[in-house]
Structure 1
Amino acid sequence: MNKKYIVIGACAVAAVAAYLVLRPGPAEEVAQAAPVEGNAIVAIQMPQIDGNAAIGQRIFENTCTACHGTNAVGVEGAGPPLIHVIYEPSHHADESFQRAVANGVRSHHWRFGDMPPVEGLTRGDVAMVTAYIREIQRANGIN
Structure 2
Amino acid sequence: MKYTYLLIGAVVAIGVAIPMLTQSNKTPEAQVAAAGNPSGLVEIQMPELSGNGPIGRTIFENACAKCHGQNGVGNAEAGPPLIHKIYEPNHHGDESFHRAVTMGVNSHHWQFGNMPAVQGLSRGDVAMVVEYIRQIQRANRIN
Give the TM-score normalised by the residue count of structure 2: 0.77
Partner of 1:32: 33
Segments of 5+ residues of structure 2 without an aligned counterpart are 1-24
Q: In the TM superposition, what whole-angstrom CA distance separates every residue of 1:22-80 from its partner, at most 9, and x where no partner exists?
A: xx9732553234634xxx60000000012211110000001111000000000101100
Question: What count of residue pairs does the alignment treat as equivalent?
Answer: 118
Q: Verify: 1:70 aligned to 2:70, yes or no.
A: yes
Instruction: Report if the CA contact (8 A) 1:85-1:142 is conserved.
Output: yes
Per the alignment, residue 82 of structure 2 pairs with 82
- 1:1-143, aligned counterparts within 5 Å? 26-28=27-29, 30-33=31-34, 35-36=38-39, 41-143=41-143
- Rounded to whole Å, the distance in 2 between the matches of 1:129 and 1:135 is 10
Larger radius of gyration, structure 1 or 2? Answer: 2
Q: Secondary structure at the match of 1:32?
A: helix
Asked if the contact 1:102/1:118 (under 8 Å) is kept, the reply is yes
CA RMSD of aligned residues (A): 1.9
Could you say what secondary structure the match of 2:33 adopts? coil
Which residue number in structure 2 is paired with residue 10 of structure 1?
none
- With over 3 angstroms needed to count, the CA separation of the structure-2 counterparts of 1:25 and 1:100, relative to structure 1, is farther
Same amino acid, percent of matched pairs: 62
Q: Give the letter aligned to residue 32 of structure 1.
A: A
TM-score normalised to the size of structure 1?
0.77
Distance 1:88 1:25, change over 3 A: farther
Whether the aligned pair in 2 keeps the contact of 1:35 and 1:76 (CA below 8 Å) is no
